Structure 1
Amino acid sequence: MEKPWTKSVTLALEGPGKYVTISNTTEASWAMIEDWPLDDAPALNRALDICAAAVEGKRPAEDARKAFIEAAVEADIEIRE
């Protein structure tokens, strides 16, 4: 089982007011692959690469979390603090 992030990310991935909580790098990767509103964007591509590296143990999980948030901002997805 993958270690959870230090702080989960809750965002309106399925539409306004429909929040999903992402708590680890694998969940973030699947969300970006399956549910993302953009297909090809710089922050999205970077986040996917960083998440893959984090799953392989080549990058810290916190790097994946930060990149995931940057991709969400790029896609104009509402993030709940």
Structure 2
Amino acid sequence: MSKTWSKPVILHGIGEEGEDVVVDSSLGASWALIEDWPEEESEVLDKALLVLGAVAQGKAKEEDGRKALISAATAAGVKFTA
């Protein structure tokens, strides 16, 4: 089970109707990348999903998942507050 991050990441304007998406766990990050992400395919997106999968399996830390989401947002030009 995914633990809640102490500091959420707010992804601005990527929700279904352009709303902000608040991500506070690796599970939430996975959903944001799969459901709300503006890119269908990218190397950084794939890498982030791999890291988040490793977190889910207990092979990586929650902070690694948070960093992967931030890296994906930066690469995709998604504005965020972290």
| TM-score of the aligned structures, taking structure 1 as reference length | 0.89
CA distance in 1, matches of 2:28, 2:22: 9
Q: Secondary structure at the match of 1:8?
A: strand
Partner of residue 79, structure 1 = 80
- Once the 2 structures are TM-superposed, how far is the Cα of residue 80 of structure 1 from its aligned partner? 2.3
CA distance in 1, matches of 2:62, 2:75: 20
2:71 is aligned with what amino acid? E
CA distance in 1, matches of 2:67, 2:39: 18
Moved over 6 A (4+): none
Partner of residue 29, structure 1 = 30
CA distance in 1, matches of 2:64, 2:40: 21
How many residue pairs are counted as aligned between the two chains?
79
CA distance in 1, matches of 2:7, 2:26: 12
Partner of residue 11, structure 1 = 11
**Higher relative strand content:** 2
Root-mean-square deviation (Å): 1.2
CA distance in 1, matches of 2:25, 2:60: 13
Please list every run of 5 or more consecutive structure 2 residues that lacks an aligned counterpart in the other structure.
Answer: none
Identity of aligned residues (%): 41
CA distance in 1, matches of 2:34, 2:43: 14
Partner of residue 47, structure 1 = 48
